[in-house]
Amino acid sequence: MNSDLRTPLARARGLGSARAGVHHWWAQRLTAIALIPLVVWFAISLVMMSGADYGAVRAWIGSPMVMVLLILTIAVGLHHGQLGLQVVIEDYVHGDGSKLALIVAVRFVAVLFGLAAIVAVLRIGFGS
């Protein structure tokens, strides 16, 4: 006898009442693991480059290895930040409208700054 109140299909899909399953949880953990080496590298770079002049910082950003790591850090870091802020907003903002508006605003800002920074890295690397 099946004591589960859900249908067998619902159980097989494993998506729960929010219809999203553990996707958000997994994405947060996956980006967290990816960020362990990226943040160590970025923190060391930040210390080394914090006083760099125009020429030095562009030469650093423009090298192929740094371009790849920097774009990864920007994309994965902002995605992780956006996922984390969503949880904070869901915990503390209780109005449905303001909750949705804040989550959408956070996503828009993250994508805007992320894309602008990635375009900046590519412009420095490929020179235009």
Residue 41: name the closest of 89, 76, 80 by CA. Answer: 76
At CA 109, angle to CA 98 and CA 82, rounded to 5? 75
CB 102 within 8 A of CB 93: yes
Question: Applying CB under 8 A, which of residues 14, 47, 64, 94 lies at the interface with other proteins?
Answer: 47
Angle made by CA atoms 116, 122, 124, in degrees to the nearest 5: 105
Q: Which residues in the 77-96 window bind other proteins by CB under 8 A?
A: 77-78, 81-82, 84-85, 88
- Shortest Cβ 85–other proteins spacing (Å): 6
- Per CB under 8 A, the list member of 22, 46, 100, 104 interacting with other proteins is 46
Q: Is residue 72 involved in binding other proteins (CB under 8 A)?
A: no
Q: Is 109 in the site for other proteins (CB under 8 A)?
A: yes
Neighbours of 112 (CB within 10 A): 11
Whole-number Å distance between alpha carbons of 68 and 71: 5
Binding positions for other proteins, rule: CB under 8 A: 29, 32-33, 35-36, 39-40, 42-43, 46-48, 50-54, 57-58, 61, 70, 74, 77-78, 81-82, 84-85, 88, 109, 113-114, 116-117, 119-121, 123-124
